[in-house]
Amino acid sequence: MDTFTRDGLRFDVSDSGPAAANSAAADSAAETVVLLHGFPQNRHSFDPVAKLLNAAGYRTLAPDQRGYSPGARPRGRRQYTADKLAADIVAMLDAAGVQRAHIVGHDWGAMVAWTLAQRHPGRVRTVTALSVPHPGAFLRAMTGTQSLKSTYMLFFQLPWLPEFILGRFARRGIPGLPPELAATYTAQLEDRTTCRTMLNWYRAIPLASPRATATPVTVPAMLIWSDGDPFLGRRGAELTARFVDAPYRLEVLPGVHHWIPELAPQRTAELILEEIASAG
């Protein structure tokens, strides 16, 4: 499967590993792991992790999400609310012939993973979040130093200026990522239209329901957090346990920057496989 559609939008997806060529047999032939990228990345951020999971016998689905796929860039922030982002992934599972999958997400992809586990638990075997805590824990952490780490989110609420600034300075690279890994991401930021639809994820934050955000997840969960992350502090990671009504574990990667899939693919894949095995 190279693409899937929902509500007139067309999403690009990397489908690899066992059963990728025969989606109808996916559940019986191999378990499926969904890999959800963050900002300002794309599906290829998970390529090294996907290869390791495929080698272990798992099918992987990694989409370019709403605002990133050329055929899925609707206008307006209301098109980027959490319910729509999660529904996109449900549509992908339907198109791939997968009833339940292990959901892995990094950065904004982690928020989609948590939301999917909250609202569609019947489609989720396990949820593994990279970097970003449960949304309820994140809100609790905002009363401390996390609010300072997240000031850029307020800047992203402004019209047109963030697109201009990000596009102008994208060529300087992305802090924490080697230039060869950041190249495709900076190209996205330099494209004003793409940058705007990517930023709409942030601009939809004020539309979120605090009550829905705080809903606990009821499937086995793991948070992989790195202590070298300048954007996300430890408090949110530690508070996440309060929002999981199922087996839960926190794994800390020492000295790793925010970009866990690119910088620590081997350890990330090992942890995902451990989580899958522990959930039975």
CATH number of domain containing 12: 3.40.50.1820
| Per-residue pLDDT at 29 | 55
Residue 122 has a CB neighbour count (10 Å cut-off) of: 7
pTM (global) more than 0.85: yes
Tell whether 200 is covered by a domain.
no
**Which of 169-191 are b and which e, b meaning 16 or more Cβ less than 10 Å from the residue's Cβ?**
ebeeebebbeeebbeebbebbee
- Rounded to whole angstroms, what are the CA distances from 191 to 45, 195, 260? 19, 6, 25
| Per-residue pLDDT at 280 | 79
Count structural domains, the chain.
Answer: 1
Tell whether 215 is covered by a domain.
yes
Quick one: pLDDT band at residue 2, thresholds 50, 70, 90?
Answer: very high
Tell whether 151 is covered by a domain.
no
| Per-residue pLDDT at 26 | 43
- Tokens representing 116 are 């999917």
d(CA 35, CA 268): 12
Contact (CB, 8 A) for 136 and 215:
yes
Q: Which domain holds residue 219?
A: 3-146+210-275
Is the bond leading into 40 cis (omega within 30 degrees of zero)?
yes
- Tokens representing 46 are 């998970």
pLDDT in tens, 204-258: 999 999 888 999 999 999 999 999 999 999 999 999 999 999 999 999 999 999 9
Tell whether 181 is covered by a domain.
no
Residue 108 has a CB neighbour count (10 Å cut-off) of: 23
20 phi and psi angles, rounded to 5 deg: -60, -35
- Asked if the model's pLDDT at residue 21 lies above 60, the reply is no
Tell whether 87 is covered by a domain.
yes
Quick one: pLDDT band at residue 30, thresholds 50, 70, 90?
Answer: confident
Residues whose CB falls within 8 Å of the CB of residue 135, separated by 6 or more in sequence, listed in order: 111, 114, 115, 208, 213, 214
Tell whether 187 is covered by a domain.
no
159 phi and psi angles, rounded to 5 deg: -75, 145
Tell whether 74 is covered by a domain.
yes
Tell whether 194 is covered by a domain.
no
| Per-residue pLDDT at 19 | 73
